[in-house]
């Protein structure tokens, strides 16, 4: 990774190797959270109540409220905490399971969620399928639903993975389903 100057990181989606450093604890409770890649620092980040926390690894569950396609941000509802450079999120206990919809069903797999800046939309890529498989990559307008997330700190590219099922409806909205919840 290339540092261009103090506090400025090259505009790429490769994670900055430099340590993030100390950060204040994330406040307790359920929050509205913006999740995105910080293009200037080279870390993933969450923004809660106007304050920013950076991380290099992500685990947990959250309710996906939607996306801000113009800014490349996913809006979540969750409780969260930082342990070093690992962010862990917890689904709000009172949150109902996302409603089932009809559409193109994507089986439970290791789905990569990422932003396509050039088109201001999102991708859903099944990382367990071969790269050139025609079913591996789908473009969607937004994400909603129940995220079961994982991003290993050894992955040096800005990725968030959903380890559950997904349904892409006829408006190209990607509905996420957590394998640990019941849908009826």
Spell out the per-residue pLDDT of the chain, length 184, in tens. Answer: 434 434 443 455 788 899 999 999 999 999 999 999 998 898 999 999 999 999 999 999 999 999 999 999 999 999 999 999 999 999 999 999 999 999 999 999 889 998 888 888 999 999 899 999 999 999 999 999 999 998 887 777 877 899 999 999 999 999 999 999 999 7
User: Which pLDDT does position 39 carry in this prediction?
Assistant: 86
Range of the domain at 117: 3-177
What is the C-alpha to C-alpha distance for residues 12 and 9, in angstroms, rounded to an integer? 8
In a domain, 137, yes or no: yes
Q: How many domains does the structure of the chain reveal?
A: 1
Question: Shortest CA distance to 151 belongs to which of 116, 110, 115?
Answer: 110
User: Which pLDDT does position 1 carry in this prediction?
Assistant: 40
What is the C-alpha to C-alpha distance for residues 173 and 160, in angstroms, rounded to an integer? 17
In a domain, 130, yes or no: yes
Q: What's the whole-model pTM score?
A: 0.90
């Amino acid at each position: 990774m290339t540092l261009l100057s103090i506090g400025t990181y090259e505009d790429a989606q490769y994670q900055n190797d430099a340590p993030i450093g100390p950060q204040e604890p994330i406040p307790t409770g359920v929050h509205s959270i913006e999740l995105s890649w910080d293009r200037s620092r080279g870390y993933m980040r969450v923004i809660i109540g106007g304050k920013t926390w950076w991380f290099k690894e992500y685990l947990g569950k959250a309710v996906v409220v939607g996306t801000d396609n113009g800014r490349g941000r996913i809006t979540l509802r969750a409780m969260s905490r930082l342990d070093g450079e690992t962010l862990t999120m917890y689904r709000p206990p009172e949150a109902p399971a996302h409603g089932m919809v009809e559409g193109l069903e994507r089986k439970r797999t290791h789905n990569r969620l990422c932003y396509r800046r050039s088109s201001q939309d999102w991708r859903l890529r099944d990382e367990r399928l071969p790269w050139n498989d025609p079913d591996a990559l789908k473009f969607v307008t937004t994400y909603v639903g129940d995220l079961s997330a994982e991003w290993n700190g050894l992955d040096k590219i800005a990725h968030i993975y959903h380890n559950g099922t997904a349904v892409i409806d006829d408006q190209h909205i990607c509905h996420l389903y957590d394998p640990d919840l019941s849908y009826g």
